[in-house]
Amino acid sequence: MSGLFIRNVCYSYEPPVWALKDVCLDIDAGCFFGIIGPNGSGKSTLLRCISGNLKPQRGGVFLGGQDVSALSVREVARRMALVQQHSSLEYDFTVGDIVLTGRNPYIKRWRGESAQDYAMMNDALKTAGIPHLKDRPITALSGGEWQMMILARALCQQADIMLLDEPVTGLDIRHQVSIMGTVKRLAKQRGISVVCVLHDLNLALSYCDGLALLSKGEVFASGKPEEVLTKHNIESVYGTGVTVLRHDGKMYILPEMDM
């Protein structure tokens, strides 16, 4: 297990506009870390820089002392599983086929999947609570089932860092709680670090050990959730009024309605 060190990361899709500016964060091993911020603030870009998918023009992401952009795609995939937003998978695959692709970073090209890979696929389906979906075509899944399949694939990948981009956006509250709970439990049991982009500030408060609030590509605040999600920080970054409530020692954030 190793921590992630994000040092002065700058990324631009279209120079001279920076999507990320001088981002510095330390994410401890085993931590459940949330990234929040308005639409377009750079959350997905940051996650893709962490995963090595995008190479920062300045600064770097270090995993166990190694610069992620210097590792091969297979090496990175053994350490980190990236679950992207709107992943679109087409064609006539079954859920089992997709989950099995989590083994790709370990499979020797000329050998194909071993019995152990299949056993791990079945295990991952069980852990995600969807063994009954193994032979279901992926074109016939609900939003919640789809996310559980993607999560099972990440588990099958056996990475010790999971990068999740809005894993519960668009799901009903039961599925939100079920997915967040599964991830949190697994992270604890297996010592996995989770870096998770979330839109729901109350989920971020409940599940995350640490948070970074992004604004226009920069870290506006980072630290413990209660310290980051203050009325002042939220209103400054999102530009809308909120009420922060405390009940039974817990904090809740309510948007002020503009009617």
Of 4, 9, 43, 50, which lies in the binding site for ligand ADP, with binding defined by CB under 6 A?
A: 43
Of 33-41, 156-164, 228-236, 237-245, the segment contacting ligand ADP by CB under 6 A is 33-41
Q: How many CB atoms lie within 10 A of CB 22?
A: 14
Size of the site for Mg ion (CB under 5 A): 2
Binder of residue 13, out of ligand ADP, Mg ion, none (CB less than 5 to 8 A by kind) = ligand ADP
Cis amide prior to 16 (ω within 30 degrees):
yes
In 3-state terms, what secondary structure has residue 191? Answer: coil
Binder of residue 42, out of Mg ion, ligand ADP, none (CB less than 5 to 8 A by kind) = ligand ADP
Task: Considering the complex, state which of residue 121 and residue 213 has its C-beta at the smaller distance from ligand ADP.
Answer: 213
Task: Considering the complex, state which of residue 43 and residue 79 has its C-beta at the smaller distance from ligand ADP.
Answer: 43
- The residue with tokens 């997905």 is 44
Of 21, 32, 35, 44, which lies in the binding site for Mg ion, with binding defined by CB under 5 A?
A: 44
- Nearest Cα neighbor of 195 from 106, 98, 80 is 80
Tokens of 110: 């000329």
Of 41, 158, 176, 182, which lies in the binding site for ligand ADP, with binding defined by CB under 6 A?
A: 41
Contacts of ligand ADP in 163-192 (CB under 6 A): none
What is the rounded CA–CA span in Å between residue 195 and residue 203?
14
Residues 6+ apart with CB under 8 A from 234: 201, 242, 244, 253
Bridge partners, residue 62, by sequence: 5, 67
Of 22-30, 42-50, 108-116, 238-246, the segment contacting Mg ion by CB under 5 A is 42-50
- Nearest Cα neighbor of 44 from 153, 205, 191, 165 is 165
The least CB distance from residue 165 to Mg ion, in Å, is: 6
Of 39-47, 155-163, 201-209, 222-230, the segment contacting Mg ion by CB under 5 A is 39-47
Task: Considering the complex, state which of residue 43 and residue 79 has its C-beta at the smaller distance from Mg ion.
Answer: 43
What is the rounded CA–CA span in Å between residue 59 and residue 182?
33
What is the rounded CA–CA span in Å between residue 1 and residue 93?
33
**If binding is defined by CB under 5 A, does position 53 make contact with Mg ion?**
no
Contacts of ligand ADP in 1-30 (CB under 6 A): 13-14, 19
Q: How many CA atoms lie within 13 A of 205 on its CB side?
A: 18
The least CB distance from residue 224 to ligand ADP, in Å, is: 22
Of 6, 21, 32, 45, which lies in the binding site for ligand ADP, with binding defined by CB under 6 A?
A: 45
Q: How many CB atoms lie within 10 A of CB 143?
A: 13
Of 39-47, 112-120, 227-235, 251-259, the segment contacting ligand ADP by CB under 6 A is 39-47
Q: How many CB atoms lie within 10 A of CB 54?
A: 20
Bridge partners, residue 245, by sequence: 252
Residues that bind ligand ADP (CB under 6 A): 13-14, 19, 37, 39-45
Residues that bind Mg ion (CB under 5 A): 43-44
